[in-house]
Chains A and B, each alone.
Chain A
Amino acid sequence: MINRISILIIILFQTAVLSAQNHLEMQKEYAESLFAGEKYFDAVTEYKRLMFFDENKIYSAEAGLKIAYCYKSGGKFDDAIAVLSKMKENQQINKTDIEIEIIRLNILRGTYFRAIGLIEKLEREVPEKQSELNYWKGWSYMVADEWQKAADAFGNSREKGTEILKNLCISVSEEKYSLSFARTISYILPGAGHFYTGYFIEGIISLGWNVLWGYDVVNAIKADRIFDAVMVGNFLWLRFYTGGSQEAVKLAEIENRKIINEAYKYLSIQFEGKQP
């Protein structure tokens, strides 16, 4: 008799077991739903809660990675790198993947020298990831405003989209104005540097000043007023002469900045390949 009741009770429990779930799994699902809904601040809270109550550390690796992704999406690159650096000792994740993720975060943060350093270190340690590392090296150089080196790096990579990026780098590096060229031709003919970068009015003004003071100095030398010639030459002509070439370089930098900003806009909005 008791056995029958016990069987009944067991059946009673079985029905409940079928419809129940582990509480940690549910917390993980909740956090993932927040992450998918782009509510990153709240997602970080829920992942932290999962990690706090997970005594057996089943979910700590996954949750840690997700927290880093949340910080990345919110633009908090320092926090993301901090979280990932702490996770490097975790056995459950591939260390190389974390290193590559840290490289990508460094690119996004703008600390490209560090990214390049890390890439070179990884190239020595993990030679089989050559293609992917060269891809990120190309990105680092692009963000560092060194387009020729970026094109070379993309040449060594076989990831999807490297062709487009390589062509972009080559075209940008050809479009950019050369600063040394602007400076040199400005020394030869004051104002030529301005014309090179397209600022015609400023070029004419600079040329005008130089011609004016040059004429004054020459006249002073001709009339044998050496002291006056030296004064004018030093305090006026020289200032406008060197100032002109300085200005030409500055204008070339302004124009270059406009060119690379356009390239960056293309990268962030239209480019469809892997972004850091």
Chain B
Amino acid sequence: MKIQKFFLAHNLYTNLTLFEKINWGKIGNALFSCSFVLTQKNQKVKTAEKLSKVFTRKAKRKELSRFLKYLKGSGIKQIFFSLRDAFLIRLFNDNFSNVLLTAKRLMLKWFNKNLAHNLYPNLTLFEKSLTGKIVFSYLLLLTSYSFLFSQQTDLFSYDNRMKFGNYLYETKDYIRAVDEYRACLKINQSDTLQFKIGEAFFEMGQYNFASEEFYKLFSSKEFGYISKISFLKTQFAAEKYDSLQIFQFPDEEQEVLNYQLKFVNLSLMITEENLPGYEKYFQPFSDREKSVLLDFYEEKKSLPYKSPLKAAVFSAIIPGAGKIYTGDYGDGITAFLATGLFAFLAYDNFKAEHNFRAWLFTGLGAFFYCGNVYGSAASAQIHNAKVKNEFEAGFKLFLKNENYFIPFIRF
């Protein structure tokens, strides 16, 4: 391949004008080095940079400046230089075919129209001398332009990874989304992605990782406030209620401190049996939040706890009454019947002078009686635990639905 190209150039060489011959060597060398490298796979970027320097050295600066004046405008000059570098770096990437295919098609289209062929005889000498370079620069611009479109075909580029990561996040495939976002973050720092990583960990329930990720955003401009609040949210969901109270934020932002107070009060609903007064409790909340929380506040104040002591005393007076007080109706009636039955049997046997049997039945009756007293106290505790657990579960679910009073973010 290399030999064929060299041969062809040699044939062409004889038909070029003198000006082109003088400059051809330099341009041609640059071209051939490009094509040589193209046939190699997986060239590294360093070679591309070296080659771009070669190209700058080969083309004379004077001719280039003339061409650039011809292009009119400094904007195009900047584009041209950046595109040239980008083109050469891109040249050695594997996913280049579409670029070249498009460029090739466009070039063929251009030449098929034979515009240049018709134009050429009408150009001045100055323009004729520049034509070769104009064509090559145009080619460069063309391929670089199609290179811009080829950005999309690299599936592991920053944009594509972000798109794929967003798709995974939407479909709740959070671990994969986090991997994609982390790969993006290695290339370019982005607070949105960092925050989304934190949210993904939170949704999965991995609160330690989530709080770490939110912590990294404390000093961000856009996401500082929301990440501090989300940090509080993870501490609450992970049930680290002590750290909610004692955590010191680096800045003393009033709103963040207010949110901290809100979360502390919310945690009180779970940890404390006796809530503070109405004014003090609802002080950090807004009116809307107050109205939805009021139901829970009132419910917590009036949860139907049963006292184990009362249950035991009731059971001591009437066997089974304690269990009925706690809500275990079947057990209460059974205990009443059992103790009553044995008491009656004992009484009957005492009357009939069967002493041994009477004492046996007394013993059994006492056994059931004491068991019932103990069981009533235990049953009251079980009832309390059930009530407390149901309230807590409902409260946590409610907060999760409200996203802990944090505004929802649209990405």
**Residues of chain A contacted by B163 (CB below 8 angstroms):** 52
Q: Are B104 and A10 in contact (CB under 8 A)?
A: yes
Q: Is the interface of B mostly helix, strand, loop or mixed?
A: helix
Q: Are A23 and B153 in contact (CB under 8 A)?
A: yes
Other-chain residue from B5, B17, B91, B107 in contact with A6 (beta carbon distance below 8 A): B107
Task: A20 to B100: give the CA distance in the assembly, Å.
Answer: 9
**Residues of chain B contacted by A22 (CB below 8 angstroms):** 97
Q: Which of A11-19, A90-98, A177-185, A204-212 contacts B (4 or more CB under 8 A)?
A: A11-19
Q: Are A52 and B94 in contact (CB under 8 A)?
A: no
Q: A26-B94, A45-B179 are in contact. Are A13 and B104 (CB under 8 A)?
A: yes
Task: A53 to B164: give the CA distance in the assembly, Å.
Answer: 8
Task: A52 to B120: give the CA distance in the assembly, Å.
Answer: 48
Other-chain residue from A10, A18, A26, A48 in contact with B95 (beta carbon distance below 8 A): A26
Q: Is B8 an interface residue (CB 8 A)?
A: yes
Q: Are B107 and A27 in contact (CB under 8 A)?
A: no
**Residues of chain A contacted by B132 (CB below 8 angstroms):** 1, 5
Q: Are B100 and A9 in contact (CB under 8 A)?
A: no
Q: Closest residue to A53 on the B side, CB-wise?
A: B155
Residues from 312 to 357 in B contacting A, C-beta threshold 8 Å: none
Residues from 34 to 82 in B contacting A, C-beta threshold 8 Å: 34-35, 38-41
Q: Is A21 an interface residue (CB 8 A)?
A: yes
Task: A16 to B120: give the CA distance in the assembly, Å.
Answer: 29
Residues from 51 to 74 in A contacting B, C-beta threshold 8 Å: 52-53
**Residues of chain A contacted by B100 (CB below 8 angstroms):** 13, 16-17, 20
Q: A2-B120, A13-B104, A49-B155 are in contact. Are A8 and B96 (CB under 8 A)?
A: no
Q: Which of B31, B38, B154 has the most CB of A within 10 A?
A: B38
- Interface residues in B, total, Cβ within 8 A: 48
Task: A7 to B111: give the CA distance in the assembly, Å.
Answer: 10
Q: Closest residue to A27 on the B side, CB-wise?
A: B155
Q: What's the minimum C-beta distance from B270 to chain A, rounded to whole angstroms?
A: 34
Other-chain residue from B31, B34, B94, B167 in contact with A21 (beta carbon distance below 8 A): B94
Q: Is B9 an interface residue (CB 8 A)?
A: yes
Q: Is B15 an interface residue (CB 8 A)?
A: yes
Bin chain A's interface residue count: 20 to 34
Other-chain residue from B12, B31, B167 in contact with A4 (beta carbon distance below 8 A): B12
**Residues of chain B contacted by A23 (CB below 8 angstroms):** 95, 98, 153-155
**Residues of chain A contacted by B238 (CB below 8 angstroms):** none
Q: What's the minimum C-beta distance from A235 to chain B, rounded to whole angstroms?
A: 15
Write out, one digit per residue, whether chain B residues 5-25 have a CB within 8 A of any chain A CB (1) or not (0): 100110010011100100000
Q: Are B160 and A16 in contact (CB under 8 A)?
A: no
**Residues of chain B contacted by A268 (CB below 8 angstroms):** none
Q: Closest residue to A11 on the B side, CB-wise?
A: B5
Q: Are A15 and B31 in contact (CB under 8 A)?
A: no
Q: Are B95 and A3 in contact (CB under 8 A)?
A: no
**Residues of chain B contacted by A16 (CB below 8 angstroms):** 35, 38-39, 91, 96-97, 100
Beyond A12-B38, A15-B1, 17 extra complex contacts between A and B, CB < 8 Å: A1-B20, A2-B116, A3-B117, A6-B111, A8-B5, A10-B108, A12-B34, A13-B103, A13-B104, A16-B38, A17-B97, A17-B104, A23-B153, A23-B154, A23-B155, A45-B179, A53-B164
- 19 pairs of residues in contact across A and B, judged by CB atoms under 8 Å: A1-B16, A4-B12, A5-B12, A6-B107, A9-B139, A11-B8, A15-B1, A15-B35, A16-B39, A17-B101, A18-B39, A20-B96, A20-B97, A21-B94, A21-B97, A23-B154, A48-B176, A52-B163, A53-B164
Chain B residues engaging chain A, CB cutoff 8 angstroms:
1, 5, 8-9, 12, 15-17, 20, 31, 34-35, 38-41, 91, 94-98, 100-101, 103-104, 107-108, 111, 116-117, 120, 131-132, 135-136, 139, 153-155, 160, 163-164, 167-168, 173, 176, 179
Chain A residues engaging chain B, CB cutoff 8 angstroms:
1-13, 15-23, 26-27, 45, 48-49, 52-53
10 nearest A-B pairs in the assembled complex, by CB-CB distance: A20-B97, A16-B38, A23-B153, A13-B104, A4-B12, A16-B100, A23-B95, A13-B100, A2-B116, A12-B35
